[in-house]
Structure 1
Amino acid sequence: MSATLETRRSARPHAEPPLAGLWQLYRHIVRRDRVRMIVWAASMTLFAVYFTFALTTVFDEAALAARAAVMSTPSGIVMGGPGYGLDDYTPPVAMANEGVTWLILALAIMSILHVIRHTRAGEENGTAELVRASAVSRHTTAVATLLTLTVHLLIIAALGAAGMVLVGTEVPVVDAVAMMLGCALVALVFGAVALVTAQVTAHARGATGAALVVFAIAYAVRAAGDLQETGGSPLSWFSPIAWAQQTRSFVDLRWWPLLLPLAATVLLLVLAAQLARRRDFGAGLVAGRPGPADAGTLLRSPFALAWLQQRGALLWTGLAMGLMWFGAGTMMSTLNEMVADLVDDNPVLAALFGSEPSAFTTSFLGAMVLFISISVGAYAVVMGQHPKAEEASGRLELTLSTPVGRSRWLAAQLIVAGLGTLLLLAVSIFGMWAGAALVGIEDPTVGDFAVVWASYAPGVLALLALTAALYGWVPRATSAGWAALAFFFVIDFFGPLFDLPEWVQGLSPFHWVPTAFGDDVDMSGVLGVSAVCATLFALAFWGFRRRDLVTG
Structure 2
Amino acid sequence: MLNNLFAQSGRLLKVNLKRDRWKLLIWVIVLAGLMIGYASKIGVIFSSQKSVDALVVTLRSPAMIAVLGYIPKSVAMTEATLFSGEMLVFMGLFYGLASLLLTVNATRGDEDQGLTELVRAKPVGRQALLFAAFLELVVFNLFLLILIGGGLQVTDMAGANTSGNWLSAALLSGVGLLFGTIGILTAQTASEARSATTGALSLLGVAYIARMLIDVQNPKYNWWSPLGWVERGGAYYDNNWLPVSYLLLTTLVILLLAMAISSRRDIGAGIIAVRRGHAKSWFLSGPLTALIKTDGKSFWSWLFGALIMGLMYGSIFNSITDVIKSNQFMATMFTTAMQKKASDALLLQFMATLAIVFVIIGSLRGIFMVNQIETDAKKGYLELLLAKPISRTRIFFTYVGYAIVNALIAFAAGLTGLYLGNIAVMKHPLALKYFIRLFNGYSVTIIVMIAIAALLVAFVPRLKSLTLVYAGLGFVIMYFHSIFKLKDWVVKLVPYGWMKSLPVKQINWTNFTGLLIVAVILLIVATIGFQRRDQITK
TM-score w.r.t. length of structure 2: 0.92
Matched, 1:332 2:321: no
Contact preservation (8 Å) 2:229, 2:243:
yes
Give the AA of the match of 2:366.
Answer: A
Q: How far apart are 1:373 and its partner, in Å?
A: 1.4
Matched ranges for 1:145-224 at <5 A: 145-167=133-155, 169-170=157-158, 171-224=160-213
Question: Corresponding residue for 1:477?
Answer: 463
Tell me, what secondary structure is at the counterpart of 2:536? coil
Q: What is the rounded CA distance, in whole Å, between the counterparts of 2:481 and 2:351 in structure 1?
A: 19
Distance 1:174-1:343 versus aligned 2 partners, 3 A rule: farther
Matched, 1:57 2:57: no
Q: What is the rounded CA distance, in whole Å, between the counterparts of 2:152 and 2:303 in structure 1?
A: 35
**Deviations 1:41-99 (CA, angstroms, capped at 9, x unpaired):** 11111221343345422223333333333333433332222323664222221222221
Equivalent of residue 227 in structure 2, options 213, 238, 241:
241
Contact preservation (8 Å) 2:458, 2:527:
yes
Tell me, what secondary structure is at the counterpart of 1:366? helix
Distance 1:491-1:77 versus aligned 2 partners, 3 A rule: closer
Q: How far apart are 1:16 and its partner, in Å?
A: 6.6
Contact preservation (8 Å) 1:112, 1:194:
yes
**Deviations 1:382-436 (CA, angstroms, capped at 9, x unpaired):** 1221101001111111221112111111111111111000111111122212211
Question: Corresponding residue for 2:111?
Answer: 123
Backbone CA RMSD of aligned residues: 2.4
Q: What is the rounded CA distance, in whole Å, between the counterparts of 2:210 and 2:469 in structure 1?
A: 30
Question: Corresponding residue for 1:426?
Answer: 412
Contact preservation (8 Å) 1:372, 1:428:
yes
Matched, 1:83 2:71: yes
Matched ranges for 1:370-389 at <5 A: 370-389=356-375
Equivalent of residue 72 in structure 1, options 31, 41, 60:
60
Contact preservation (8 Å) 1:513, 1:523:
no
Question: Corresponding residue for 2:337?
Answer: none
Matched, 1:361 2:323: no
Distance 1:412-1:452 versus aligned 2 partners, 3 A rule: same
Q: How far apart are 1:514 and its partner, in Å?
A: 5.7
Among all aligned residue pairs of Structure 1 and Structure 2, give the percentage whose two residues are the same amino acid. Answer: 24
Matched ranges for 1:245-284 at <5 A: 245-284=231-270
**Deviations 1:513-548 (CA, angstroms, capped at 9, x unpaired):** 261123443211111111111111111111010111
Q: What is the rounded CA distance, in whole Å, between the counterparts of 2:323 and 2:271 in structure 1?
A: 50
Matched, 1:226 2:212: no
More divergent stretch after superposition (67-76 vs 103-112): 67-76
Question: Corresponding residue for 1:318?
Answer: 303
Give the AA of the match of 2:319.
Answer: T
Question: Corresponding residue for 1:9?
Answer: none
Question: Corresponding residue for 2:90?
Answer: 102
Structure 1 gaps of 5+ residues are 1-13, 346-353
**Deviations 1:264-319 (CA, angstroms, capped at 9, x unpaired):** 111111111111121112211222111101121x3211111122233322211221
Q: What is the rounded CA distance, in whole Å, between the counterparts of 1:86 and 1:166 in structure 2?
A: 28
Equivalent of residue 35 in structure 1, options 17, 22, 26:
22
Give the AA of the match of 1:142.
Answer: L
Q: How far apart are 1:497 and its partner, in Å?
A: 5.3
Q: What is the rounded CA distance, in whole Å, between the counterparts of 2:132 and 2:49 in structure 1?
A: 47
Contact preservation (8 Å) 1:111, 1:149:
yes
Give the AA of the match of 1:317.
Answer: W
Q: What is the rounded CA distance, in whole Å, between the counterparts of 2:491 and 2:467 in structure 1?
A: 18
Q: What is the rounded CA distance, in whole Å, between the counterparts of 2:521 and 2:125 in structure 1?
A: 49
Q: What is the rounded CA distance, in whole Å, between the counterparts of 2:223 and 2:317 in structure 1?
A: 27
Q: What is the rounded CA distance, in whole Å, between the counterparts of 2:444 and 2:505 in structure 1?
A: 20
Tell me how many residue pairs correspond in the alignment.
Answer: 528
Matched ranges for 1:415-494 at <5 A: 415-440=401-426, 442=428, 444-494=430-480
Question: Corresponding residue for 2:379?
Answer: 393
Question: Corresponding residue for 1:534?
Answer: 520
Give the AA of the match of 2:317.
Answer: M
Structure label with greater radius of gyration: 1
Q: What is the rounded CA distance, in whole Å, between the counterparts of 1:243 and 1:462 in structure 2?
A: 37
Contact preservation (8 Å) 1:49, 1:167:
yes
Contact preservation (8 Å) 2:310, 2:414:
yes
Q: How far apart are 1:340 and its partner, in Å?
A: 4.2
Q: What is the rounded CA distance, in whole Å, between the counterparts of 1:247 and 1:239 in structure 2?
A: 13
Q: How far apart are 1:239 and its partner, in Å?
A: 2.0
Question: Corresponding residue for 2:333?
Answer: none
Contact preservation (8 Å) 1:80, 1:97:
yes
Q: What is the rounded CA distance, in whole Å, between the counterparts of 1:550 and 1:334 in structure 2?
A: 53
Give the AA of the match of 2:174.
Answer: L
Q: What is the rounded CA distance, in whole Å, between the counterparts of 1:509 and 1:310 in structure 2?
A: 27
Contact preservation (8 Å) 1:444, 1:517:
no
Contact preservation (8 Å) 1:56, 1:168:
no
Q: How far apart are 1:255 and its partner, in Å?
A: 1.3
Distance 1:183-1:31 versus aligned 2 partners, 3 A rule: same
Contact preservation (8 Å) 1:385, 1:467:
yes
Q: How far apart are 1:551 and its partner, in Å?
A: 5.8
Tell me, what secondary structure is at the counterpart of 1:328? helix
Question: Corresponding residue for 2:12?
Answer: 25
Distance 1:442-1:306 versus aligned 2 partners, 3 A rule: farther
Tell me, what secondary structure is at the counterpart of 1:119? helix
More divergent stretch after superposition (175-184 vs 333-342): 333-342
Matched ranges for 1:505-520 at <5 A: 505-513=491-499, 515-520=501-506
Q: What is the rounded CA distance, in whole Å, between the counterparts of 2:236 and 2:165 in structure 1?
A: 8
Q: How far apart are 1:441 and its partner, in Å?
A: 5.7
Q: What is the rounded CA distance, in whole Å, between the counterparts of 2:275 and 2:308 in structure 1?
A: 28
Give the AA of the match of 1:238.
Answer: W
Structure 2 gaps of 5+ residues are 331-339
